[in-house]
Structures are given as structure tokens and as C-alpha cells.
Amino acid sequence: MNLMSLLAARRDAGRPVRAGLIGAGKFGSMFLAQVPTTPGLEIAAIADLAPDRARQACRTVGWDDQRLAATAFLDDGAALAARDDVEVVIEATGHPAAGIRHALAAIRAGKHVVMVNVEADVLAGAELAAAARSAGVVYSMAYGDQPALTSEMVDWARAAGFRVACAGKGTKYLPVFHQVTPDDVWTHYGLTPAEAAAAGMNPQMFNSFLDGTKSAIEMAAIANACELTPPSDGLLFPPCGVDDLPHILRPKAAGGVLETTGMVEVVSSLERDGRPVFRDLRWGVYVILEALSDYAAACFRQYGLKTDASGRYAAMYKPYHLIGLELGISVLNAALRGEATGSTRTFAGDAVAVAKRDLKAGETLDGEGGWTVWGKCIPAARSLAEGALPIGLAHRVPLVRDVAAGAVVSWADVTVDAGSEAVRVRRAMEARFG
């Protein structure tokens, strides 16, 4: 509750919080838009593969010439992490291998890391978090994105003495979305390809939101930060509005859909026939509380919480998330309090590659949101037992044998570069938990 007073003290002492941003895409641009209106927070440097594009992004969000002149623009994220004038490194590239490389560079340089790059975090977050702890720096989820917001709600619930039955987010989902490719993604967004291109929208990135991959990645991140469990065979995506959250997201033994208590799940804003769900949670996050005493359950009712029929399960939710507009909360928590806004603690969930169609030996996988695979969230124990290929490594790797539609792709099905940093760090994490 005192971030601004702490920031004001730093500003008045002539020591503003100075951050460096790697990746000036949509998430990064939204954060940059808030920097001029957060006195005491400055951007020392921005790294992007196209520095001129990053400069233009700053102009687009309202930066003046003075602020632009005071900021260094680079094309190398590792070089940014090594700068003496950067206190907190924000990794927002969305590329798993690049995220691992940049996070490790920042940690070695003694810098706090805010990991917008959930793809990298799910691929090897437990290993990166361990490295950060050893170095005495913060490794944090990005506030404003659903994993950090959900983790905050889980922490609040547990600190208040409740058991967490389930936690997660909402999205737009139908089972057929798992087979959607970038060729037909825009029909599901109500856009023509020309309209999307004019707006600078990347079809593969937007398809990863639609085909279930992004949901799998985010739920694995929440599972790993909150020590929750994914469903054994992937997310169920039950249609559910906010009024029905405690009825549906409770254990089967209590009348709900969960295999057990303490799980992650995503609720759909569409009924299975395509009709909109009443009071959907498409843009929000939630946590399901379980009262552990009759007295607490009675208080749920007395204070107006939506509960299940038993009165023991109740829902708290946040209907929206503002992604990059809220990212400053993570940066300031790391710099001023030495705290993360959610961070990987274990390897409980994984996002693994599943074939969208029958794949043949010799084909090349194309990663999140592409034509060949989608990401499925499963328990890490199952992923390790089956040798499943993480979706974060299903980029430009060739198949060495056929994989049937709907089957999980394994390490044995592909040829990977065993010497790459991302593969080595991932394998180290698997060994740690295997």
C-alpha cells in the first residue's frame, strides 16, 4: 500500500528507479505509456531487434523528445542487462529461448528480472528462479498479466486462512479452436486478413491466444507459482459465468468438475453451441475459496459472496486485466521492496506440444499458434514420465517420425539442438524435478 511513498522517497533523493525494457511490442508499449505519469520511474534503455521501431513505439505512446533523448536504444538484450544504469530488466520479447538468455544475463549482472515472457517462464522458470535466488535478486511475474494477478489472489486467499480449491482465468474457447491455424484465425476475431494486416496484428501470435496454447502456458505458470495442479489430461474450459464459478469449479465429490481440490482451470465465455455465457469472465481472473469452518461459511452468506449450494465454496474475481498498463507494479515491487509479484516455486505444470493434424516425419514444427501444434497444460509429472516436448521448444524443429493428430509430441519425435542454452536449461530443470 506504500509503493508511491517509497518511490517518492527515491525520487526526492535523486535516485529514481531505472529500468530497462527488452521488447517494445504491445505489452512493452503499454508499459512505456505509463512511465511519464509515474514520477520517479525512468527507462534507461530499450532493446529491440528493430531499435527504430522501438523509438516509434515510444512516440506513439506519447513520449516527448527530451525523454527519447535520455533513453538508450539497443538491438541486444544481453547488452542492456549489463548496463550499470539499469536496476530492473523487463523481458517482454515473448520468445522462449531469448527470454531464458536475457533472464540469465540479467541475473548474472545482479539485476532484478520482471518476466513478461511467460513462454520462457513455463519452459524453465524453476531453474531461472533458483538462479535468481542464488544471486540475491528478484525473479518476478509481470503484474497486469493473468498469472501474476491470479497468483496475488491465491496468496491473499491463503493468507486470509482459506483453502484454494481452484484458480485461473477466463477466455473465449470452443473445442474446434485447437485446430485453427493462422490461415483462418481472423474469422474468429471478426476481422478480414486485410484489416488485421493494416493494424499490424500477427496472425500466429493471435492464433496462440485462440487455439488454447496461451491458456495452457498461463495455467502452467500459475500452477508453478502457486503449487496448484493442472487437470490430468488438459484444461476442461467449462462454460461458466461469474455467478456459477463456485458451483462448477469445485471438486467432483462436491458436485463440480475438478478432479480434486487445489487445481488450475480456464472458464470459457462461450457455451459449447457458441452462445455467449451470461456474465462471462473472458478478460478476468478468479480464485475459488473453501471455508474450513462452519463459521467462515456462514460469513460468506452474511456478506453476500456468491457460493455453491453448500455455502462452503465461494468465488472472488477480478473482471479485467490491463497487461502492460499495470506492469510498473512489478518493477517497483522488485526495486523498492525486493519482492516479486508472483514467481515460479516449483515444476507442477507444463505446456506441451500436441499435433493439430496428422504430422509426417520430415515436417518442421512451427511453435505457438502455428499450423502444426498447439499447447496443452498437463501435470509436470506426466510430462516428465512421457518425455513430452514443451511447446516452448517446438520452434523450427524437424520431426523424425510420424505423430498422429491429437497426440502429444515427445522429445523422441524430434531433433533438437542439445547444445542450445534453452535446451540445456530446460533439461537441467527436468533433472532437478525428475
- Output the pLDDT for position 201: 82
**Which neighbouring-strand residues pair with 410?**
388
Q: Which residue has the cell 475438478?
A: 258
Q: What is the mean pLDDT of residues 229-234?
A: 98
- Output the pLDDT for position 200: 73
Q: What is the mean pLDDT of residues 235-257?
A: 97
Q: Which CATH class is domain 349-433?
A: alpha beta
Q: In 3D, which of 260, 286, 295 has the Cα closest to residue 379? A: 260
The overall pTM is greater than 0.85: yes
Q: So where are the chain's domains?
A: 3-144+324-337, 147-173+212-321, 349-433
- Output the pLDDT for position 185: 94
* Confidence tier at 197 by pLDDT (50, 70, 90): confident
Q: Distance between CA atoms of 189 and 406, rounded to whole angstroms?
A: 24
Q: What percent of the chain has pLDDT over 90?
A: 96
Element (H, E) at 44: strand 41-47
**Which neighbouring-strand residues pair with 321?**
none
Q: How far apart are the first and last CA of the chain?
A: 40
pLDDT 10s digits, 247-277: 999 999 999 999 999 999 999 999 999 999 9
CATH superfamily of 3-144+324-337: NAD(P)-binding Rossmann-like Domain (3.40.50.720)
Q: What is the mean pLDDT of residues 405-421?
A: 96
* Confidence tier at 196 by pLDDT (50, 70, 90): confident
- Output the pLDDT for position 401: 97
Is the pLDDT at 199 greater than 80? The verdict is no
Is the pLDDT at 394 greater than 90? The verdict is yes
Is the pLDDT at 363 greater than 90? The verdict is yes
Element (H, E) at 127: helix 118-135
Torsion of CA 125, 131, 137, 143, to 10 degrees: 0
Is the pLDDT at 1 greater than 90? The verdict is no
Q: Distance between CA atoms of 253 and 255, rounded to whole angstroms?
A: 6
pLDDT 10s digits, 307-344: 999 999 999 999 999 999 999 999 999 999 999 999 99
Q: What is the mean pLDDT of residues 269-288?
A: 97
